[in-house]
Every structure is written in C-alpha cells, then in structure tokens.
C-alpha cells in the first residue's frame, strides 16, 4: 500500500482496501462533514492515463444519479501526481463477503441482476465499457440497494497497457483471455458469471474437487465447462438464462445488458414476483429524438451528456445489430432473446456511429501472487471494498412512472405479478428423452438406450418398477445399457432420463417392460 495523498478539504482516516492498480482510503470531508471513500491510482500514471481517467470520471459523474451506478462527488489529481475519485463510503458486508459464506436467495439475485443490468446498459449507451464486473464490484448502500462500482477504470487501465493488473479471470469471458474486447456482450457475460457466483457460492468455473489455479480456470472458461448449479430452489429457466449469457460463442449471448435484464424479469414473473424495473439513462446522441415507450417493466430516460474528446475518440463499445425491440424490449411483445439480432444495420449504443473496436494483442495469460478474494486466484481484483454510492446533487433527475397505472391491453404496460411473461425463456440445452430398447429371453434381459444428441459427460437416471423389482430407488450411471435377471412371470419396467452436466435433465423415456420366462 502506498501512503494516502494529501487532499485539501479531506482528512485521512484509514485504509479500506487495496488492489492491483489503486488503493481505497476512508477520509473525513470537511464541508459538508461526512465520511467518503477516495480511490487513488497508484503512482506512475502517465499524462495520457490521467487524462483518460478524468474524462471517464466526467462522463460517469453526469450519469451518477442512476440508482445503481456509483456516483462521483469529486475527481482530481493530488499534489504528488496521483489521480483520485471521491465517492460515498458505506461499510460492508457487501455481496462479495456474503456469497462465499451463504449463497444468496434467488429473489435477491434476480433483483440485483436487473438493477445492475440497468447500470451496465446505461454506461454502454454513454460509450463506456465496464470490463470488470464481478461480486467485489457490486456494493450495497445503507438502504440495501445494489450498486456497481469501478466504471470506466478498466478501460482506462486497458488503454494504457496496464490491464494485466486488473483482469479478474474467474468472471472474464473467453474472448478477453486472449485480447482486449470492446463488445458489450463481454460485459453481459461477466454480469451473468457474477450472478451465477451469487447462486452457487463460488466463482462459476471453480470446482471443489479439482485445481483452481489460473491455467485450470482459463481452460474451463475457454471450453465452457461451467460448474453445475444444483439448487432445487433455482428454476431451470434462470440457470438457462445465465448459461446462455455465458456462452463461449459471443453470438449466442443476449445482444445487450437490457435484453439480459428483460430475461431476468421473465424469471421473476415465472416465480410470481413483481418484476424489478429496468431503469436506463440513454446518453446516446440520438436518444433525445427517439420515442421511449416506458411501461411497468422498463423506464428509458433520454439524457444529455457531454462526452469529453478523450472518451469520444477512443474505440467505443461494439454493439451487435439492433432493432426497436432490442433497444426498448417489451414495447412490441417480441421475444428479445440472444439470437434476436433485429435489422441488419449496426447501431452503437454509445451513439458514436461508425466506430469499431479493434481488439488488441495484449495477452491475458498473466501470473501474479496468490491472494484470496481481493486477488482472486492470482489476479489482483479491482478495488471495491467498502466503497458505496448515493445520488450526487445536481445530477440528472429521474421521473419514475407509477407501475400500477396505464392500460394493460396490448402489453403496453408490461406484465405484472401473476401474469405470464410475454417472452418466456425457452430452455437452451434440455436433451430429449432417450429411446429404450430391449433384448433377451427367459430370465436374462438387457435394456439399451440411445440419445438423439449425446454429449461427453452425460449420465443417466434409471428408474425400475414392477413386481420383479426389489428396490425402486433411482440409480445414476454412465453406462447406456443395463442387464437384469427377471424371475419367471415377474415384470420389470424401466424408465431412463439424461442428466447433462451444466444443463437440464431430460424427461423420462417411455416405460419399457419385460416379463421373465
């Protein structure tokens, strides 16, 4: 840890946390009197890094009235040349401390997911990628509101070539392990990986019975070998939404954080919960002239934001093709799933048309000292401990609509508690039931089953019934056949289901019976 800088109007209190490229200190502000958290970049930042740091702070300060985006009270450069951000301080515990002890409830994870998706979408529309979404960067306000921190810092670090210090492998998409990614779907992946972590109690590719070093994790990430989530209270639709968003193939993921948030809302409705409102501040240049059909599930608020040249001129977020349903999902009742790309023309959510992100050659196969949690699996984590946010005075105000009002016909106001979702999520990878055949005679019989779409690692649930069966408990095996001895005139029936690792269990096969001779 470096010494805290001298900042006029603030008195140092103590260290909150430290990471690979910045430290967070608690200070007492003189006027107004309050405790704040100040994030300070490590010394040695060059002029270009500091300029981009200031530019990102200017953009995020204008968006900091969003209920789930870290507000910035102040930014500057200390007398010894270190850039800093002043934010509100709030003590832990936050989700990063909680999920390792006890996985979070499904309802809370869904609520966090929708709110953070709103924050991510808002930043994307202002031309900013997060690049380091993970449990440590989701904090909790005094009122229990989830808040995403460290916006823009990742892109600053990446632009200046220091990104090696900030990559958080357990939640990074596979494309980021080889080069910089400017695609908004990389943030979508990391958000889904974070939510998966909160449900399973550890990073999504970490395993209890195997090595979890950097190389092992990266291999699983690149192959999509997601650790199965086996919680009876987690609906299959939620598991599938997260698995789809964490697809190895970028094209299979939701096209935006907005669409992921909408899918999470569908799961809330499936569980008979009131959907959390998607609240997006649209800072793209075209937003002020567009119609935003807000409803009970979505609020899109066009805002005017001054984009500094340092932000405007660098590669902006790469956004796949969009249509109106993707930008404002739900207004037309279309599905909005990850495969729904809309019109063939591309539109950048940042509004900077014509910009395309060229991936750099920076390798992500890095090493570093092992450290639990804040240097997760050898990768120094972004600072997020104890830094929490609240609204900044003078930022743009929100006019929240009353979700209970409006005409319910035609889906204009969205769906509410107890209604069926207009775009239910179809299971992505539920294998079909196997087909069982039988052979043999007399007392010796063999059941054999075949799959339409076999996968490595598939297992089978075998259920026997009939008066020739002594034990009716299911058996779980990897073999695709079972040979039995059946007593004379006794009947044995078999049903088989496919259990897919990281996927869904198929329906049982048709019952197949034999009689001993």
The label of the residue with tokens 């005094």 reads 142
208 in active site: no
Dihedral sign from CA coordinates of 349, 352, 358, 360: negative
Q: Is 22 left (phi over 0), alpha (psi -120 to 50) or beta?
A: beta
Confirm if 378 and 181 have CB atoms less than 8 A apart: no
Sheet with 512-515: list strands edge to edge.
475-477, 459-465, 491-499, 512-515
Closest CA to 285 of 357, 345, 350, 356: 350
Q: What CA–CA distance (Å, rounded) separates 205 from 9? A: 45
Note whether 62 and 122 are within 8 A (CB).
Answer: no
Label each residue of 41-58 as H, E or C: ECCCCCHHHHHHHHHHHH
Backbone phi and psi for residue 235, each to the nearest 5 degrees, phi listed first: -65, 150
Find the length of the chain.
Answer: 517
Tokens of 324: 């109106």
Q: How is the beta sheet containing 481-485 ordered, strand by strand?
A: 435-441, 444-450, 481-485
Residues 6+ apart with CB under 8 A from 50: 41, 77, 81, 83
CA separation for the pair 456, 448 (Å, rounded): 18
Is 39 annotated for ligand binding?
yes
Catalytic, out of 26, 54, 125, 131: 131
Return binding residues for ATP.
39
Kindly list the catalytic residues.
131
Return binding residues.
39
């Amino acid at each position: 840890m470096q010494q805290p800088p001298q900042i006029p109007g603030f008195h140092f209190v103590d260290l909150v946390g430290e990471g690979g490229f910045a430290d967070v200190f608690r200070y007492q502000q003189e006027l107004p009197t309050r405790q704040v958290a100040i994030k300070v970049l490590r010394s040695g930042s060059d002029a270009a890094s500091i300029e981009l740091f200031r530019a990102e702070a200017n953009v995020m300060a204008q968006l900091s009235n969003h209920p789930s985006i870290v507000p910035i009270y102040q930014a500057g450069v200390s007398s010894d040349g270190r850039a800093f951000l002043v934010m509100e301080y709030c003590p832990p515990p936050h989700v990063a401390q909680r999920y390792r002890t006890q996985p979070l409830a499904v309802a809370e994870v869904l609520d966090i997911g929708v709110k953070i998706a709103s924050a991510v979408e808002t930043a994307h529309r202002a031309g900013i990628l997060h690049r380091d979404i993970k449990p440590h960067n989701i904090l909790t306000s005094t009122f229990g509101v989830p808040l995403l921190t460290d916006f823009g810092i990742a892109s600053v670090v990446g632009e200046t070539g220091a990104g090696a210090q900030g990559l958080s492998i357990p939640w990074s998409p596979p494309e980021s392990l080889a080069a910089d990614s400017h695609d908004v779907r990389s943030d979508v992946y990391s958000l889904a990986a974070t939510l998966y972590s909160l449900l399973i109690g550890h990073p999504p590719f970490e395993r209890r019975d195997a090595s979890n070093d950097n190389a092992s994790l990266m291999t699983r990430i690149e192959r999509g070998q997601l650790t199965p989530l086996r919680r009876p209270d987690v609906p299959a639709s939620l598991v599938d939404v997260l698995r789809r968003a964490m697809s190895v193939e970028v094209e299979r993921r939701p096209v935006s954080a907005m669409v992921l948030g909408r899918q999470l809302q569908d799961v809330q409705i499936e569980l008979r919960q009131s959907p959390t409102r998607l609240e997006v501040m649209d800072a793209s240049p075209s937003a002020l002239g567009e119609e935003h059909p807000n409803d009970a599930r979505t609020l899109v608020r066009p805002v005017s934001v001054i984009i500094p040249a340092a932000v405007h001129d660098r590669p902006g977020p790469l956004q796949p093709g969009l249509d109106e349903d993707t930008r404002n999902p739900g207004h037309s009742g279309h599905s909005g799933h990850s495969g729904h790309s809309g019109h063939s023309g591309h539109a950048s959510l940042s509004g900077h048309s014509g910009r395309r992100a060229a991936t750099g050659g920076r390798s992500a196969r890095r090493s570093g000292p092992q450290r639990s949690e804040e240097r997760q699996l050898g990768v120094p984590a972004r600072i997020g401990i104890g830094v929490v946010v609240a609204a900044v005075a003078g930022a743009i105000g929100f006019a929240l609509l009353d979700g209970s009002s409006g005409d319910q016909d035609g889906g204009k106001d969205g769906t509410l508690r107890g209604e069926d979702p207009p775009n239910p999520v179809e299971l992505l990878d539920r294998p079909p039931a196997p087909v069982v055949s039988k052979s043999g005679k007399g007392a010796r019989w063999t059941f054999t089953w075949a799959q339409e779409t076999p996968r490595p690692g598939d297992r089978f649930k075998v259920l026997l019934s009939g008066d020739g069966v002594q034990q009716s408990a299911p058996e779980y095996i990897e073999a695709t056949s079972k040979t039995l001895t059946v007593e004379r005139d006794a009947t044995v029936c078999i049903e088989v289901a496919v259990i897919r690792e990281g996927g869904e269990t198929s329906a049982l096969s048709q019952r197949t019976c034999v009689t001993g001779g």
